[in-house]
């Protein structure tokens, strides 16, 4: 998990994740595709109300059920709101800091800290391109990436990404833990046309902050503030997958996660893991949390898909361990896919030889935590793919708040991993 970094001067207000609206219900009634036009040379006044994150990364609607995002498909980007200068990054992961600044509202040729904007453009060629980044959550900045309805074509997931905060560290009985899963489909020689590739993708740039105050913006050129900007377009050869059939289940293990008897657990769709007949009921408890996208809504207490600050659709749930736990120990978090999902029928599949779990290259998660509730320095879990039951799970350690370091990797079994753009 990345440490918190010192913010640059004039940081943005804290940004929290937005759960996109239920099917057919606008994310924000004030948002539409007829937003204000870009005003040449001006960064746009404050909006006066909160807006949602725009969809920047392509998405496939696996069962034909969509989520309403700001803007409209095929619209031209509206870039009339707040923007930052961005000219690269410095440091090495996990200590990467964006090189960026907001413009001075009284003199757009300077950063808000007084440094001339043209001066910061004098950087080594390999230190990144020079762009303006039009920030998320401003109703005067509006765009929408490409999407594809795949209800008639089964979606065999290429890559599955568990949030790095689960893979990297152990957590505590007083933590709030973001449990995030992202599903990806990539363009290949055999299925690019079937899934609508290439799709419209907008390049994003990290402008400031980490975690709850992390801010990203759509990259636009030219860097010169007095020229109307044009959005930077990405390759569009990969998309996230939204499935209406997603379910998250959390259960307390009654043994250590490396106990070989856990391999005998049986999956009961819609309920969770259970012990076979004849076992003494000493391996796993009934579920603590069991929510599905098609049964619930948005917000705390529900399981849903969200548009994060990078503009990607992800599946997320903030597990408030302080209020929902059965003591320290090991817990199994399972991401599964229901066969029947309201009026939709499952069309999303984990396939042996196709689906793989991504390497934890960078932190996708946006944990809603305070410093006192952060995870430990070591530990974390390992994602496992169960192709027979069309699911993935991870066994993680929850430590007592006063406890020390972590408990190592876990999960057993597991499939090969490969990296990818996160």
Reply yes or no on whether the pLDDT at 5 is more than 60.
Answer: no
Average pLDDT over residues 395-418: 54
What is the average pLDDT value for the chain, to the nearest integer?
80
Dist CA 180 CA 387 (whole Å): 20
Q: Is the peptide bond before 249 cis (omega within 30 degrees of 0)?
A: no
The domain locations on the chain are 18-146+197-234, 155-191+241-418
**Percent of all residues in the chain with a pLDDT value above 90, rounded to a whole number:** 59
pLDDT at 301: 79
Reply yes or no on whether the pLDDT at 255 is more than 50.
Answer: yes
Dist CA 102 CA 37 (whole Å): 20
Average pLDDT over residues 307-313: 96
Cβ-contact 98, 309 below 8 angstroms: no
Reply yes or no on whether the pLDDT at 416 is more than 70.
Answer: no
Q: Tell me whether residue 345 is exposed, middle or buried, using C-beta atoms within 10 angstroms of its C-beta: 0 to 12, 13 to 18, 19 or more.
A: middle
Mark 384-418 as b/e (b = at least 16 C-beta within 10 Å). bbeeebbbbbbbbbbbeeeeeebbebbbeeebeee
Least trusted range by pLDDT, from 49-53, 108-112, 225-229: 49-53
Predicted model pTM: 0.81
Dist CA 53 CA 233 (whole Å): 18
Higher-pLDDT residue of 29 and 94 is 94
- Of 290, 365, 368, 379, the C-alpha closest to 335 is 290
Within a 10 A sphere around the Cβ of 313, how many other Cβ atoms?
A: 27
Q: How many CA atoms lie within 13 A of 134 on its CB side?
A: 32
Higher-pLDDT residue of 182 and 362 is 182
Higher-pLDDT residue of 188 and 307 is 307
β-pair partners for 247 = 292, 336
Least trusted range by pLDDT, from 130-139, 165-174, 298-307: 298-307
Strands 176-186 and 356-358: unpaired
Q: How many CA atoms lie within 13 A of 26 on its CB side?
A: 10
Residue 175 φ then ψ, to 5°? -85, 160
pLDDT at 361: 56
Dist CA 18 CA 305 (whole Å): 9
**Percent of all residues in the chain with a pLDDT value above 70, rounded to a whole number:** 75
Structure token digits, residue 391: 């699911």
Higher-pLDDT residue of 139 and 280 is 139
pLDDT at 96: 84
């Amino acid at each position: 998990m990345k440490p918190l970094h010192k913010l640059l001067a004039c940081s943005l207000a804290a940004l929290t994740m937005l759960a996109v609206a239920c099917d057919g219900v606008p994310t924000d009634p004030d948002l539409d595709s007829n937003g204000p036009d870009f005003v040449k040379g001006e960064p746009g006044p404050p909006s006066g109300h909160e807006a949602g994150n725009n969809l920047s990364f392509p998405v496939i609607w696996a069962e034909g059920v969509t989520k309403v995002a700001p803007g409209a498909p095929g619209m031209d980007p509206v870039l009339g709101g707040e923007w930052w200068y961005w000219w690269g990054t410095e440091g090495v992961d996990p200590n990467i800091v964006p090189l960026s600044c907001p413009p001075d509202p009284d003199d757009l040729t300077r950063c808000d800290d007084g440094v001339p904007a043209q001066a910061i453009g004098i950087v080594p060629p390999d230190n990144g391109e020079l762009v303006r980044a039009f920030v998320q959550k401003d109703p005067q900045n509006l765009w929408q990436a490409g999407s594809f309805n795949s209800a008639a074509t089964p979606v065999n997931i290429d890559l599955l990404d568990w949030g790095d905060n689960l893979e990297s560290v152990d957590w505590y009985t007083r933590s709030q833990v973001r449990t995030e899963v992202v599903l990806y489909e990539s363009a290949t020689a055999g299925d690019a046309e079937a899934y609508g590739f290439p799709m419209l993708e907008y390049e994003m740039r990290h402008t400031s902050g980490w975690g709850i105050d992390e801010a990203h913006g759509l990259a636009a050129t030219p860097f010169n503030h007095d020229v109307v900007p044009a959005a930077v377009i990405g390759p569009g050869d990969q998309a996230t997958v939204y499935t209406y059939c997603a379910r998250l289940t959390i259960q307390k293990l009654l043994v250590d996660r490396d106990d070989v008897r856990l391999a005998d657990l049986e999956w009961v769709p819609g309920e969770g893991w259970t012990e076979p007949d004849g076992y003494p009921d000493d391996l796993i408890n009934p579920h603590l949390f069991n929510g599905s996208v098609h049964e619930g809504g948005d917000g705390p207490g529900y399981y849903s898909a969200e548009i994060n600050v990078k503009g990607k659709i992800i599946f997320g749930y903030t597990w408030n361990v302080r209020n929902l736990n059965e003591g320290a120990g090991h817990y199994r978090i399972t991401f599964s896919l229901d066969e029947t999902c309201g009026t939709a029928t499952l069309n999303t599949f984990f396939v042996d030889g196709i689906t793989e779990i991504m390497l934890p290259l960078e932190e996708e998660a946006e944990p809603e935590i305070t410093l006192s509730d952060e995870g430990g320095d070591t530990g974390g879990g390992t994602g496992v793919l169960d192709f027979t039951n069309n699911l993935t799970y991870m066994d993680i350690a929850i430590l007592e708040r006063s406890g020390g370091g972590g408990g190592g990797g876990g999960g057993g079994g597991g499939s090969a991993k490969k990296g990818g753009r996160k």
